[in-house]
């Protein structure tokens, strides 16, 4: 049970961080969302062998994490959750693209390896941009912005509910797991023959609990059509932040780091 409870706690750790009061936290959510989106689009737009060109983009997460006092290690651990997916996708490149790109101290590096490294680097940058956005902006503000830009309310509500009910589902699983362990033969998880009824019961219980939570939300003014999002002014400070991020992305998208390094090497 403590493990599942820790998982529930972990889900909400980023949201707790979002309650901070640093200069990044105080920025308008729209400025942070647009900047993150522009950053991600720029990073994704690079060629799959452009490892060097992506290097300057590491400043974005590094600077934002420093300014927002976000714990680096915790963010890095979360990035590892996304790692297996891109590793699995990129490993095929190493197998199929074997033509040599260059030799380094007698070791031949293939184009496939470079594209794998680019993919990992790109994933790192994109995941960090999203994590920093969530760690510095409360979820309600993000969904409020989505509503303001006319994202269909049903999608936003679905997102909010999924986010809230993940914790509810895990809590129910924790209670059931404890009850099972206390009467079960084995202390190591749930036996396969009981898994079907366990999962079935979990869904029914979670559904029941979710209905009660939703009732509690409705009693406190939560309703699909009557949502009152907090209004905040988009100030000059927000504008400057967004402009800086846009300029940074555009500049390093236009300037080829490879060409600069080659020019410096020739010089």
Partner 1 sequence: MLEVCGLSVSYPEFANAVDGVFFALREGEKVALIGANGAGKTTLLLALAGVLTPSEGNISIDGVKFNKKNIHDARKKIGLVFQNPDDQLFMPNIYEDAAFGPRNFGCSEEETRERVENALCQLGIPQLARRSPLKLSGGEKRLAAISTVLTMRPSYMLFDEPTAFLDPRAKRALAEILSGLPQGKLIATHDLAFAEKICSRVLLLQNGRLTAEGGIDILRNAALLESAGL
- Judged by the rule CB under 8 A, the positions of this chain that interact with partner 1 are 5, 8-9, 12, 15-16, 19, 138, 140, 164, 167-168, 171, 209, 212-213, 215-223, 226-228, 230
Closer residue to partner 1 (CB): 52 or 210: 210
**Minimal distance, residue 12 CB to partner 1, in Å:** 4
d(CA 48, CA 42): 13
Report CA-CA distances (Å) from 178 to 5, 200, 226, 234, 251.
Answer: 11, 17, 40, 49, 55
Q: Are the C-beta atoms of residues 144 and 229 closer than 8 Å to each other?
A: yes
Q: Which helix (H) or strand (E) holds 96?
A: helix 72-96
**Minimal distance, residue 161 CB to partner 1, in Å:** 10
**Minimal distance, residue 64 CB to partner 1, in Å:** 21
Closer residue to partner 1 (CB): 72 or 212: 212
Closer residue to partner 1 (CB): 23 or 224: 224
d(CA 60, CA 70): 13
**Minimal distance, residue 8 CB to partner 1, in Å:** 6
Closer residue to partner 1 (CB): 97 or 171: 171
Q: Which helix (H) or strand (E) holds 255?
A: none
**Minimal distance, residue 168 CB to partner 1, in Å:** 7
Closer residue to partner 1 (CB): 16 or 262: 16
**Minimal distance, residue 115 CB to partner 1, in Å:** 39
Closer residue to partner 1 (CB): 113 or 201: 201
Report CA-CA distances (Å) from 169 to 3, 166, 208, 212, 213.
Answer: 14, 5, 11, 13, 12
Q: DSSP per residue over 42-58, as a string?
A: HHHTS-TT-HHHHGGGG
């Amino acid at each position: 049970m403590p493990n599942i409870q820790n998982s529930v706690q972990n889900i909400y750790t980023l949201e707790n961080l979002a309650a901070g009061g640093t200069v990044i936290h105080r920025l308008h959510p729209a400025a942070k969302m647009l900047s993150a989106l522009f950053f991600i689009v720029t990073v994704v737009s690079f060629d799959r062998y452009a490892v060097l060109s992506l290097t300057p983009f590491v400043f974005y997460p590094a600077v934002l994490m420093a300014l927002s006092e976000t714990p680096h290690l915790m963010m890095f651990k979360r990035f590892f959750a996304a790692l297996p997916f891109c590793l699995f996708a990129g490993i095929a490149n190493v197998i199929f693209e074997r033509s040599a790109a260059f030799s380094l101290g007698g070791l031949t590096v293939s184009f496939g390896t470079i594209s794998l490294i680019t993919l990992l680097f790109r994933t790192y940058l994109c995941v960090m941009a999203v994590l920093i956005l969530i760690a510095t902006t409360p979820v309600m503000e993000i969904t409020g912005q989505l509503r303001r830009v006319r994202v269909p309310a049903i999608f936003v509500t679905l997102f909010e509910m999924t986010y809230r009910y993940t914790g509810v589902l895990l809590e129910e699983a924790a209670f059931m797991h404890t009850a099972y362990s206390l009467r079960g033969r084995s202390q190591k998880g749930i036996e396969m023959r009981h898994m079907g009824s366990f999962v079935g019961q979990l869904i029914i219980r979670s559904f029941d609990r979710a209905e009660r939570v939703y009732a509690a939300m409705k009693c406190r003014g939560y309703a699909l059509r009557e949502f009152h999002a907090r209004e905040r002014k988009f100030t000059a400070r927000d504008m400057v932040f967004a402009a800086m991020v846009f300029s940074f992305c555009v500049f390093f998208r236009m300037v080829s780091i490879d060409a600069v390094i080659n020019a410096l090497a020739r010089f």
